[in-house]
Amino acid sequence: MSTSMKFAYRIVATLALAALPLSAAMAKDEHYLANGAAIGGFDPVAYQTEKKPVQGSPQFTAEYQGATWQFASAAHRDLFVANPSKYAPAYGGWCSAGASKGKKVATRPDMFWAVVDGQLYLNSSDAAHNKLFLGDTQATIRKGESNWKVIYATPADKL
């Protein structure tokens, strides 16, 4: 398979996974809704626009896939509403390194995150982020995408 075909396949696979419903996972896994909002109330748009985690505000919210998302501004909220799959984190907000191992591990969206090819990935700890995720980002993403198809609707305590 040519490099361009592999790249195209990866894009299609990533878009397909982004379209998987998070609501089943979120309903069973309360870490995703910490502080009453998805990803602990952090603004998912800020990771890409501000290049850092920014706490959202209850003043600027949107509903997406069964969760309330908070934003730092109306502009960020509007960007999210226009294209939520672009800004929502991979793997339902669960740890990317954990997903690569077939597990759902709660994340620290304030500390361990990366945007890769326009997709937000959250991680749970320094080791998960720096050793596993950053140590071999593409393999971690590839394994996480494969595992997520199986584990996304399974409660974390059942894995």
* Bridge partners, residue 114, by sequence: 121
Q: Report the SS3 class of residue 19.
A: coil
pLDDT in tens, 10-52: 433 333 344 444 444 444 444 455 556 899 999 999 999 999 9
* Full-model pTM: 0.79
pLDDT in tens, 141-150: 999 999 999 9
Query: CA nearest 141: which of 14, 4, 2, 30?
Result: 14
Q: Where are the domains of the chain?
A: 3-153
